[in-house]
Amino acid sequence: MVRIPQRVLDIELPPFDPLNLRAGELRAQGRDVISLGQALPYFPPPPSAVRAAQAALSSPHVHLYSTDPGRPSLRRALAERLHQEIGADCEAGDLVITAGANHAFATALTTLVNPGDEVVLPAPYFTNHYMQVQASGAIAVEAPLVDQKAYTVRWDDLSRAVTPRTRAVVLCTPSNPTGATIARADGERIVSELASRGIWVISDETYMQFVYDGTHWSAASVNDWRRSVVVIGTFSKSFAMMGWRVGFILADRELCEQATKIQDAMIICAPTISQIAAEAAVNEDWDYARQFHGEFRRRRQRVAEHLAGVPGLDWSPATGGFFAFVRVDGCTDSPALAIRLLEDAHVVAIPGAAFGRSGEGCLRLSYGSVGEGEFERALERLASYFSRR
Ligand SMILES: Cc1ncc(COP(=O)(O)O)c(C=O)c1O
């Protein structure tokens, strides 16, 4: 008999797959199913990235490995942009190019955390963070946020969960699943409290270019960030390059050198062709996502208008991301609610329970994932379903 370690058996797949499977069956029966499930931007990648990849196909280098931590020209260009974008005092040596943000997070965890260490996740958390902590053999500690409306993260939320066994705290700003961002003063306090205790901050800033009110606060913008901060980033959302699998770790050069060993052991390097495309995006289209901010703001407003008219639904528009994390009065089984919504209204939404115990009673709507017509139809169906409920 195959014996699987308990830590792997304990990992649960998020509910996206069964929902998508059922959505596929309904579509095959001719139903018009609209998915507000996946965290995808509705726009295509920038033409500069596609052109660069097409041109690269005729170069022999594209078929080879790159250097382990990524192409030097991409690391240089990205360091310069990040310096301007998030105020991080950094250079090429402080970056490892990875196969996406999830892989960056896995590499950072493997580099920093021992089995049995505690890793604190403010909750609701991003499901894959929780799964990866489980996979690493560390212990995931859920720190429910006190403010379960605006979902702001403050030091007081974390201080209760931090113990002498805490090795790292995971931040996610803007947050998946809530879209909430961490305010500068709160973030600076969190980083400094944790640094003084020798605890790492792993800050997933996948949505750094999707902040609509104010500016993005990055954990790497604090003085002395190198001592205790690792930032995770990606090309998946800002440049809609999900399938290209390219992201990065931003951390002190010494840490990057250690992480490069893990990267070499796992995948050697991020896909070369994706790095070439990413470099073109960095050089020619760094601000690409910003041209869609107007549309994201408009949709956020449309969601607020629709939900405001429905008794029993509660949501405060968030400052970033493209998520509405909506509380449903009386809901104690969000997976069952998501199934009913799919069956009756033909809309896919993700049950809040997928993002931790404190997410129960909510649904996550990814309002940036579909075209405008589908988006409007989905809103009408949601309002009509919940008005009848
Ligand atoms: C917060 C967060 N981190 C990481 C990822 C994974 O991104 P990537 O495609 O770069 O692995 C996602 C994707 O939804 C995300 O929302």
Dump pLDDT digits (tens) for 237-286. 999 999 999 999 999 999 999 999 999 999 999 999 999 999 999 999 99
Please tell me whether residues 271 and 131 are part of one structural domain: yes
Show which of 286, 315, 342 is a domain's final residue.
Answer: 286
Lowest mean pLDDT among 29-33, 45-49, 309-313: 309-313
The Cα–Cα gap between 68 and 64 comes to: 12
The CB of 235 under 6 Å from ligand 1? The reply is: no
Count of domains observed in the chain: 2
Please tell me whether residues 183 and 61 are part of one structural domain: yes
Structure tokens at 387: 């008005």
Domain range enclosing 72: 47-286
The Cα–Cα gap between 361 and 328 comes to: 6
pLDDT value at residue 16: 83
Structure tokens at 127: 């499901």
Task: Tell whether 221 is covered by a domain.
Answer: yes
Is the pLDDT assigned to residue 72 strictly greater than 80? Answer: yes
pLDDT value at residue 266: 97
The Cα–Cα gap between 221 and 228 comes to: 12
Please tell me whether residues 33 and 17 are part of one structural domain: yes
Q: Are 95 and 75 contacting, i.e. CB atoms less than 8 angstroms apart?
A: yes
Is the pLDDT assigned to residue 135 strictly greater than 80? Answer: yes
326: domain CATH number is 3.90.1150.10
Edge-to-edge strand list for the sheet holding 229-234:
95-98, 247-250, 229-234, 200-204, 166-172, 118-123, 139-144
Give the pLDDT band of residue 2 (cuts 50, 70, 90).
confident
The mean pLDDT of the chain is: 96
Please tell me whether residues 26 and 58 are part of one structural domain: no
- Within 10 angstroms of residue 62's Cβ, the number of other Cβ atoms is 16
Task: Tell whether 241 is covered by a domain.
Answer: yes
Among 165, 139, 142, residue whose Cα is nearest residue 6: 139
The CB of 100 under 6 Å from ligand 1? The reply is: yes
pLDDT value at residue 102: 98
The CB of 126 under 6 Å from ligand 1? The reply is: yes
Is the pLDDT assigned to residue 388 strictly greater than 90? Answer: no
Phi-psi region at 37: left, alpha or beta (left = phi > 0; alpha = psi -120 to 50)? alpha
- Within 10 angstroms of residue 76's Cβ, the number of other Cβ atoms is 16
Give the nearest ligand 1 atom to 40 CA: 14
Give the nearest ligand 1 atom to 101 CA: 10
The Cα–Cα gap between 218 and 191 comes to: 11
The CB of 136 under 6 Å from ligand 1? The reply is: no
- Within 10 angstroms of residue 194's Cβ, the number of other Cβ atoms is 24
CA distances from 363 to 163, 195, 324 (A): 31, 34, 8
Please tell me whether residues 98 and 161 are part of one structural domain: yes
Show which of 286, 316, 340 is a domain's final residue.
Answer: 286
Task: Tell whether 304 is covered by a domain.
Answer: yes
Q: Residue 311 C-alpha to ligand 1 middle, in angstroms?
A: 33
The Cα–Cα gap between 78 and 282 comes to: 6
Is the pLDDT assigned to residue 300 strictly greater than 80? Answer: yes
Cα dihedral across residues 8, 241, 211, 179: positive or negative:
negative
pLDDT value at residue 123: 97
Please tell me whether residues 161 and 212 are part of one structural domain: yes
Task: Tell whether 56 is covered by a domain.
Answer: yes
Q: Residue 350 C-alpha to ligand 1 middle, in angstroms?
A: 15
What mean pLDDT is predicted for residues 12-17?
86
Burial class of residue 389 in the structure, from the number of CB atoms within 10 Å of its CB (0-12 exposed, 13-18 middle, 19+ buried): middle
Task: Tell whether 247 is covered by a domain.
Answer: yes
Going by their DSSP bridges, the two strands 95-98 and 247-250 should be labelled as: antiparallel
Bridge partners of 261, per DSSP, are none
The Cα–Cα gap between 323 and 319 comes to: 10
pLDDT by residue (tens digit) across 194-248?
A: 999 999 999 999 999 999 999 999 999 999 999 999 999 999 999 999 999 999 9
The Cα–Cα gap between 219 and 264 comes to: 26
Give the pLDDT band of residue 15 (cuts 50, 70, 90).
confident
Look up tokens 């699987």; give the residue.
4
Is the pLDDT assigned to residue 1 strictly greater than 90? Answer: no
Three-class secondary structure of residue 359 per DSSP = helix
Task: Tell whether 156 is covered by a domain.
Answer: yes
Q: Which residue's CA is minimally distant from atom 7 of ligand 1? A: 101
Please tell me whether residues 153 and 194 are part of one structural domain: yes
Percent of the chain with pLDDT over 70: 100
pLDDT value at residue 18: 87
Show which of 286, 319, 353 is a domain's final residue.
Answer: 286
The CB of 362 under 6 Å from ligand 1? The reply is: no
The CB of 35 under 6 Å from ligand 1? The reply is: no
The CB of 132 under 6 Å from ligand 1? The reply is: no
Please tell me whether residues 172 and 281 are part of one structural domain: yes
Q: Residue 387 C-alpha to ligand 1 middle, in angstroms?
A: 33
DSSP state letter for 45: P
Phi-psi region at 64: left, alpha or beta (left = phi > 0; alpha = psi -120 to 50)? beta
Please tell me whether residues 71 and 29 are part of one structural domain: no
Is the pLDDT assigned to residue 37 strictly greater than 90? Answer: yes
Task: Tell whether 97 is covered by a domain.
Answer: yes
pLDDT value at residue 68: 98
Three-class secondary structure of residue 35 per DSSP = strand
177: domain CATH number is 3.40.640.10
Please tell me whether residues 109 and 154 are part of one structural domain: yes
Burial class of residue 28 in the structure, from the number of CB atoms within 10 Å of its CB (0-12 exposed, 13-18 middle, 19+ buried): exposed
What mean pLDDT is predicted for residues 127-143?
97
Please tell me whether residues 211 and 350 are part of one structural domain: no
pLDDT value at residue 223: 92
Q: Are 19 and 337 contacting, i.e. CB atoms less than 8 angstroms apart?
A: no
DSSP 284-308: H-TTGGGGGHHHHHHHHHHHHHHHH
Is the pLDDT assigned to residue 143 strictly greater than 90? Answer: yes
**What is the pTM for the complete model shown?**
0.97
Please tell me whether residues 89 and 238 are part of one structural domain: yes
The CB of 39 under 6 Å from ligand 1? The reply is: yes
Q: Which residue's CA is minimally distant from atom 13 of ligand 1? A: 39
DSSP H or E segment with residue 49: helix 47-56
Structure tokens at 250: 């931003």
pLDDT value at residue 309: 85
Structure tokens at 363: 């649904």
Task: Tell whether 1 is covered by a domain.
Answer: no
